[in-house]
Each structure stands twice: as C-alpha cells, then as structure tokens.
Amino acid sequence: MEQKLERILSRVQKPARYTGGEYNEIVKDKSAVDLRVAFCFPDTYEIGMSNLGLQILYGAINREPEMWCERCFAPWGDMEEELRREKIPLYALESGDPIGDFDVIAFSLGYEMAYTSVLNMLELAGVPYRASERKELTPVVFAGGTSCVNPEPMADFLDFCVLGEGEEADIEALRLVERAKKEGWDKPRFLREVSKIPGVYVPSLYTPEYGEDGTLRALTPRDGAPERVTKRIIEDLDSAFYPDRAIVPSTEIVHDRVVLELFRGCVRGCRFCQAGFAYRPVRRHGTEFLLEKAKSLLESSGYEEITLSSLSTSDFKGLGELTDGLLDWCEPRRISLSLPSLRADNFSMDLMERVQKVRKSGLTFAPEAGSQRLRDVINKNVTEEELLNSCRVAFEGGWNTLKLYFMLGLPTETDEDVIAIAKLANKVLYTWRQYASNKARGVKITVSTSMFVPKPHTPFQWEAQVGTEEYLRRVRLLRDNITSKSITYNWHSPEVSLIEAALSRGDRRVGKALENVHAAGGRLDSWSDYFDFERWLRAFSDAGLEPGFYASRERGEDEVFPWDVIDLGVRKSYLLRERHEAYAGRVTPDCRVKCMGCGANCLLEGRKCDE
C-alpha cells in the first residue's frame, strides 16, 4: 500500500472499509487477464457489501478466467476530502489500482438517491462523468439495477444500461468490450454493437423530443437500436451462477450475515410496489439447491447468521421444509436463522416457533394503509382480522416489540384513512392487552409513515405525489390521533421522498439537475448527513426544471413516458387496468389464485410462471 494512502487511512473513520484484503476476495494476476472491471456501488462499503446482487455478479464475472472484477465503493466525506487533498484517484479494493485505468466501470443502481454518487465517484476516479466527453472506447461506463427501469435521468452519464438480471447479460456485454478492445473498435461502433445485445439500452442512440407542455413526445432510436428494450431474466435460477463463497468483510456491515435468495418476483401485485412488477415473472430456487448453498456459504464464511431473501418470504412454497432443513443444520452450530419479509396475513405460530428456537428479535409488519378501503385500493391483500391475528400469535408467543409501517399520500387517501392508522394501532395494542403471555414486560408499538413515492412500471405511475405540506398536515392529523404512551409514532421527512419521486419519473433533462447537485458538492444523498433539500431545489431550478412537474403532476393516461422504451414484461395496458381497478376499490387476486395476464410470463420460453 502506498504510504500516502496509509497515512490518510490512519486519520479517517473506519479505515478497514477502504483496504480490501477481506477473506474470499478474488485476486488475479493482472498481467494475465484481458479485461479489468470495477464493480462500483454508489454508496458506502457497509451498504454495498450488504447487497446480494453485488456478491452474485462479482462471482459471476470472476468466473470468467480472462476477466477480473474488483470492487469500489463511495468514500465517506472524511475519506473523500483526504483523497482529493492528496490527489489519490479512486481505487479498487482488491488491487489498489485506480479505476480510471480499468476497461469497464460498472455501477449498481438500486435507488435514485445514489445517482449523485455516481457522478462523484467518476470525478474522484478522474473520469469525465458525461458519456459524451468520454471519447475513447475505455473506460466503458455502464449500469444495472432496479432504478435502471427508468434510465433516462442518468442517460447523459452512462454508455449503456443492462435491464433486468445481469448474470448472463453482463457477461455478454463484457465479452463485447473485450472484442472491441482486441479489434480496435472506436466507441461509436461499440455502442452500436452493444445495443444489439438483448436487454441493453444505449441512451445516446435515442433522441428525446418534448412537447410544448414539457412532456415527452417521443424517444426515437437510431442506428439500428431497438424500439423497445426488453429486460433480461434468468429462466432457471438453479442453473445460473450463485456464489458458494461470500466475501467476509473485516468490518461490520449492515447485513452482516449469509443471504440466501429464495425466489425472484412476487405473486402479490401490490399496486404501489415497483419490485412487485419489475421482477416478474416469479421464479424460484429449488429447496435442495438452497440447502446446499446455505451450507457452503456458512462453512466458507464463518457467519453465525443466515437470512432468507425475497420479496415475500412467506409466499415461498415449501418454506416449512426449507426452514426445517436449515435449522437441523444450523442449530447444533449455533447459527441463527432470520426470516424477513413475512406477510401479516399468514404469520404462523409454527413458523414463529421455528425461528424463535435460536433467537427472538423484533417483528415488523407493513399494512401500508390504515383502512380496509385504502388497502383494497393499493391491493395490499391483508385484512385487519389477519393482521390482528398475526399480532395475537406474536404476543402470545412472547414478542413485545412490534413495528408497523404505513405510507401517507396514497392515491384516494382521505383524512378518515389517516385516522384509521391510529385506530389500527390501538387495536393492536388492545390485542396485546388481551393476549400477551407476559404483560409485565410492557409493549412497544412503533408506527412509522413515509410519503408515498409513485414509481415507474407500477399501476400508480400516472399518480401525483401529495405535496410536502399536505403530507405534514396528515402527519399532524395522525400524531394527534395517537394517544397511547405505548405507541410511538415516527415519520420520515417528505423532502427526500419528493426528490426521489422527481428522479424516479424524471426524463433526460433531469440529468442537468443531477450535475448541478454534484457541482454544489452533493453526494451520498440517501444519507441525512449529506442530503440538502435546498441544494436540490436550486439544482432543479438552475436547470430550468421544477421537481413538482415530475413528482406531483398527474399524468394523462395517453402520455408518453421516458421509461416506455423499457419493456419489463408487464404490459402498460395491464398497469392501466390495475389503476382503474384501484380507483374502483377492487382488489386483484394474487397470481396463485388466478393469473390475470400481466404479460410477464411472455419473458419465459421453456417454462411457466411460478413453477
């Protein structure tokens, strides 16, 4: 390690996140590889290393003998300051080499508030953040991840995006970079060629036109780029790469445990949930596969905790068999199992006792809305009775800490719906009084609300977000209606949600606002330490834009969206039908009760949805 770096590491907080050298990191001989890839996560090490997608793709790329994929994370403010002062360019953890010298810089974009960190990391790497200013073939800068479902706000900065799951498509794109290097292609030729890979969107090959009202009129492809880019999926999950070994950080991270992915997609169809639509169709891992992977991941990591990951754990068919199998292996080894994403409607005593055998932690349910009417509107198919029954089971089983998550500002929400949250929390408290097995320890019920963010590719993509003032009025209304001392109410600030809404449904012009935020020192905007609302407002207005145009404007049903060019499988007409069902207060059954023909099954060739 260079002494200059060593010296600054002695001064910064938590230096172990900047050193690499962790157990199971992959080190190759750089003179023996053809392609060097920097897998960048535009957030801190602790967040990025907790990301399952990173662990999967890191392994998948490094499985290719001629490629070496290394990691790079956003530095915290103190480290950034030191790097800038000492003129040390952003480096990859494995080799310590500057990522600006790599062939490929790949970003994982999971959430909109990370966008400014992409610009900042490129700048720290000494790489122009505007794609148009990167004239050479390399470094190629691309991105994948959930927030790429609307790639347009980042269009000016990315050479291309990979839509959907990256295990196969990323490798195909990287092989093309390799070939382009070998054959000496220029960048325009590479971009034209990469746009032919299914699932790849090359923003610079699409020209936006805007109407007089400021809305998008068309996004027109050229040079043979496809009219629409269809996301990639792995049809048979068990046959795709899944790591046997995970990098074990030498410093504590957010999810410091083995993560086992059960299935992708969701059968539920909650109308506000982007992941629920974006990850369809439903595909699962086999139980045997999961048990084998769990064992090898635990043995090779030394972790003492394993968690199951999916959008709705309790919807995994054969969850009992899986948890029994895991616990048989884990218990004698003092390894604990945690089950997140349990739904409030089928939380069973049986399941709870299995988990409880090892460790008992707090419980979280997300009814999302307080009244049955509004839960029907958003298609959160959980009834009050089911929720209270789950609470009863939990309280009888000895739990005494319960968190309830809600959104304020959902479409059609009235004051009555807001007050219904307080009423529901009171009923939960009453359930505790009736059924708690140990009342002496008291009970703590926490109600949390956040401001609803309408997302692309959901039935609510046409909706207006409520204003920040209106959200705060509803917060006060709810607060005034929560009277018990056993119920704590926390609300998230609406400012981040407003910006998130503007970015998630933004068009290409929003890129200018991102540049302005970056120029004013913005980065790590998902952290309250760094998020500065005033800076965002100025950035939008200096770009001649208004966040409200993107966040709080109801779209016409015939409006062209920037993300219409992206095909996730679910048809726009289906989303619109779901929107109408929402306004009619009608629920849509989950996919297992009845297939409603959303369209995602068309992505499958050799098998059926949810097989």
Partner 1 sequence: MSRLLFKKEGRAKFISHLDLMRTMQRVFIRAGVKIKHTEGFNPHPYMNFAMPLPVGTESVCELMDFETDAPIDLAALPAALNAVCPEGIEALEAFDSDNKFKYIKWLDIEARLFYYNKVHRPEELMSFYGAESIIMEKRTKRSVSQVDIKPLFTGLTVEAAGDGELLLKARLAVGEPALSPAQLISALSQISPELAPDYAAFKRREVIDKDMNPFR
Cis-peptide into 547, omega within 30 deg: no
Residues 235, 304, 532, 590: which binds partner 1 (CB under 8 A)?
A: 304
Stretch that binds partner 1, among 262-270, 294-302, 392-400, 562-570 (CB under 8 A): 294-302
- The least CB distance from residue 19 to partner 1, in Å, is 4
| Residue 23 found at the interface with partner 1 (CB under 8 A) | yes
Stretch that binds partner 1, among 7-15, 101-109, 496-504, 532-540 (CB under 8 A): 7-15
- The least CB distance from residue 15 to partner 1, in Å, is 4
Residues 227, 288, 299, 328: which binds partner 1 (CB under 8 A)?
A: 299
- The Cα 477–Cα 471 span in angstroms is 10
3-state secondary structure of 261: strand
Taking the least distance from each CB to partner 1, the nearer of 292 and 532 is 292
Taking the least distance from each CB to partner 1, the nearer of 361 and 573 is 361
- The least CB distance from residue 83 to partner 1, in Å, is 16
| Residue 2 found at the interface with partner 1 (CB under 8 A) | no
- The least CB distance from residue 33 to partner 1, in Å, is 20
Beta bridge partners, 28, equal: none
Stretch that binds partner 1, among 12-20, 112-120, 367-375, 483-491 (CB under 8 A): 12-20
Which conformational region is residue 408 in: left (phi greater than 0), alpha (psi within -120 to 50 degrees), or beta?
A: beta
Size of the site for partner 1 (CB under 8 A): 26
Reference 170, options 54, 49, 61; nearest CA is 61
Stretch that binds partner 1, among 44-52, 167-175, 200-208, 248-256 (CB under 8 A): 248-256
Reference 437, options 331, 366, 353; nearest CA is 353
| Residue 1 found at the interface with partner 1 (CB under 8 A) | yes
- The least CB distance from residue 260 to partner 1, in Å, is 18
Taking the least distance from each CB to partner 1, the nearer of 304 and 590 is 304
Stretch that binds partner 1, among 60-68, 171-179, 249-257, 378-386 (CB under 8 A): 249-257
DSSP 560: P
- The Cα 50–Cα 485 span in angstroms is 35
| Residue 300 found at the interface with partner 1 (CB under 8 A) | yes
| Residue 3 found at the interface with partner 1 (CB under 8 A) | yes
- The Cα 390–Cα 365 span in angstroms is 9
| Residue 182 found at the interface with partner 1 (CB under 8 A) | no
- The Cα 67–Cα 48 span in angstroms is 21
Q: Note the Cα 491 to chain centre separation in Å.
A: 21
| Residue 548 found at the interface with partner 1 (CB under 8 A) | no
Taking the least distance from each CB to partner 1, the nearer of 302 and 606 is 302
- The least CB distance from residue 9 to partner 1, in Å, is 6
Stretch that binds partner 1, among 18-26, 124-132, 465-473, 539-547 (CB under 8 A): 18-26
Reference 404, options 446, 444, 369; nearest CA is 446
Stretch that binds partner 1, among 6-14, 52-60, 177-185, 409-417 (CB under 8 A): 6-14
Residues 146, 296, 301, 346: which binds partner 1 (CB under 8 A)?
A: 301
- The least CB distance from residue 250 to partner 1, in Å, is 5
Residue 373: its H or E element: helix 372-377
Length of the chain: 611
Find out whether 406 and 421 touch, Cβ atoms under 8 Å.
yes
Taking the least distance from each CB to partner 1, the nearer of 184 and 302 is 302
- The least CB distance from residue 293 to partner 1, in Å, is 17
Reference 269, options 229, 233, 237, 312; nearest CA is 312
Residues 146, 251, 287, 448: which binds partner 1 (CB under 8 A)?
A: 251
Tell me the CA distances in angstroms from 253 to 16, 17, 19, 250, 309, one per residue in order.
Answer: 11, 9, 14, 9, 17
Stretch that binds partner 1, among 145-153, 213-221, 244-252, 281-289 (CB under 8 A): 244-252
| Residue 10 found at the interface with partner 1 (CB under 8 A) | yes
Q: Note the Cα 318 to chain centre separation in Å.
A: 26
Find out whether 504 and 150 touch, Cβ atoms under 8 Å.
yes
Work out the angle between the directed axes of helices 115-124 and 510-519 (0-180°, nearest 10): 50
Taking the least distance from each CB to partner 1, the nearer of 438 and 573 is 438
- The Cα 425–Cα 207 span in angstroms is 50
Segments of 456-571 assigned E as strands: 487-491, 566-567
| Residue 88 found at the interface with partner 1 (CB under 8 A) | no
| Residue 91 found at the interface with partner 1 (CB under 8 A) | no
| Residue 21 found at the interface with partner 1 (CB under 8 A) | yes
| Residue 6 found at the interface with partner 1 (CB under 8 A) | yes
- The least CB distance from residue 25 to partner 1, in Å, is 8
Residues 7, 217, 476, 608: which binds partner 1 (CB under 8 A)?
A: 7
Residues 6+ apart with CB under 8 A from 418: 370, 408, 474, 477, 478, 481
3-state secondary structure of 59: helix
Find out whether 160 and 191 touch, Cβ atoms under 8 Å.
yes
At CB < 8 A and 24+ separation, what contacts does 213-222 make?
Answer: 214/549, 215/555, 215/559, 215/560, 216/507, 216/559, 216/560, 216/561, 216/562, 217/560, 218/560, 219/152, 219/560, 219/562, 219/564, 219/565, 221/565
- The least CB distance from residue 331 to partner 1, in Å, is 13
Residues 9, 429, 537, 576: which binds partner 1 (CB under 8 A)?
A: 9
- The Cα 584–Cα 590 span in angstroms is 18
**Residues in 324-383 at the binding interface with partner 1, rule: CB under 8 A:** 334
Residues 220, 250, 438, 541: which binds partner 1 (CB under 8 A)?
A: 250
Residues 73, 303, 489, 549: which binds partner 1 (CB under 8 A)?
A: 303
Q: Note the Cα 564 to chain centre separation in Å.
A: 20
Taking the least distance from each CB to partner 1, the nearer of 9 and 52 is 9
| Residue 248 found at the interface with partner 1 (CB under 8 A) | yes
Taking the least distance from each CB to partner 1, the nearer of 184 and 332 is 332
| Residue 602 found at the interface with partner 1 (CB under 8 A) | no
Stretch that binds partner 1, among 43-51, 246-254, 309-317, 563-571 (CB under 8 A): 246-254
Reference 363, options 346, 388, 344, 381; nearest CA is 344
Binding residues (CB under 8 A) for partner 1: these are: 1, 3, 6-7, 9-10, 14-16, 18-23, 248, 250-252, 299-304, 334
